[in-house]
Chain A
């Protein structure tokens, strides 16, 4: 199908983009992997697109003190294949490698993915497990927000009108931490029916830290704090993992669609949490 007519601007700087955003009926275009299909189906009919994909200063992966800073228009493929991300934050590289297909990963961006806030997107599970943050800018201010506060609900974020995501800040992983992202894929769309990101660190034979991010199960991605608490302090045996994973969907209003009922999704979440925790533990030293 063909999209409804719209104006298109490709500003050269972030400031120029922010000025253009002040108008009504404007949408930011990054990789276009979510927005363009919606426009072609006329589910989205913005009057103007501001293409930030050509702003040179928004595509980077830099290492700072204890963190990686990833520019908003960095593509999934760039994250997946970056030697820096692979060595400093392997979980994020692994999650990026699971997104959609190679065409989507070549075009889609980290900023675009989190701004769209699809409840089944891959990145959020890992970003929550990593306790990542994002930097949001407007024409005259800049703020930093934890991703946990950024995802408000289905397709709903804390982005205010006129605001653009500048970068995502991910803590550099301690070398002894083991991580894993495990996903049940919906083959037609490539989205996660359920996706679980796990991070674990052991100290003196006990699990000292556990972080679990869940996507696809509920209206928004979340951290399964009850699983983390159940696992921390244990030895991380198969039974410990099973008992901790059993509570991942407790109290969650699970999504239901043609592909998976709510009960089946909850079941999958428990299974994939076990798998992700086991894989993460096997990688922890």
Chain B
């Protein structure tokens, strides 16, 4: 499944880039995640408790930041699995200045498998968008605060 979109973060590009690399900020902004454990260079382990409507489940997984090219772009590689399925994805985040703010564009490819993909196909796209939206909304709040 291809996902792409963009959000405007109310922070200058350097700061937005920094925020996106900060494990504490990432943990705070990812819905259902408390903290990220560093397991290597730019590599973190995380637990994510997903709760969207009635659908809930604990995912454990890894996030890795690759090809950092501050402050323009970097790759985010995510993989996670839980009882209800697995998610694997890779995305390129591109930051471009937009006045005092920064436009963050993401283009990614996500594979979803297991029960959730089998029965949830109709809902994967909207659910993925919802999680991404929540992440960027939280990030914007963090950037302002």
Contact = CB atoms under 8 A, between A and B. Distances in A.
B111 to A, nearest CB: 14
B56 A258 contact: no
Interface stretch (A9-17, A40-48, A52-60, A169-177): A40-48
B129 A253 contact: yes
B125 interface: yes
A44 B50 CA distance: 11
A261 B54 CA distance: 26
Which of B56, B57, B120, B127 neighbours the largest number of chain A CB atoms within 10 Å of its CB? B56
B144 interface: no
Contacts of B130: 153-156, 219
Contacts of A120: 122
Interface string A103-141: 000000000000011111000000000000000000000
B69 interface: no
Contacts of A226: none
Given A44-B55, A116-B53, A153 B133 contact: yes
Nearest to B83: A42
B57 A43 contact: yes
Interface residues of A, number: 30
A156 B53 contact: yes
Contacts of B133: 153, 219
Contact of B119 (A43, A191, A219): A43
A258 B1 CA distance: 10
A252 to B, nearest CB: 12
Interface string B1-44: 00001000000000000000000000000000000000000000
A256 interface: yes
A120 B57 CA distance: 23
A44 B83 CA distance: 11
B54 A27 contact: yes
Nearest to B52: A155
B53 A219 contact: no
A255 B3 CA distance: 11
Contacts of B122: 120, 186, 189, 191, 257-259
B65 interface: no
Nearest to A1: B115
Nearest to A155: B53
A154 B50 CA distance: 14
A34 interface: yes
A38 interface: yes
A104 to B, nearest CB: 15
A155 B55 contact: yes
A44 B56 contact: yes
Given A34-B54, A38-B54, A38-B55, A119 B119 contact: no
B123 to A, nearest CB: 8
B116 interface: yes
B98 interface: no
A258 B121 CA distance: 7
A209 interface: no
Interface string A133-153: 000000000000000000001
Contacts of A258: 121-122
A43 B84 contact: yes
A35 interface: yes
**4 A-B pairs closest in CB distance:** A155-B53, A44-B54, A154-B126, A154-B130
20 contacts: A34-B54, A38-B55, A41-B119, A43-B55, A43-B84, A43-B115, A43-B116, A44-B55, A45-B56, A119-B123, A154-B123, A154-B126, A156-B52, A156-B53, A186-B122, A189-B122, A191-B122, A255-B126, A256-B125, A257-B124
Given A42-B115, A44-B55, A155-B54, 16 more contacts: A38-B54, A38-B55, A39-B54, A41-B84, A42-B83, A42-B84, A43-B84, A43-B115, A43-B116, A45-B56, A219-B126, A219-B133, A255-B125, A255-B126, A258-B121, A258-B122
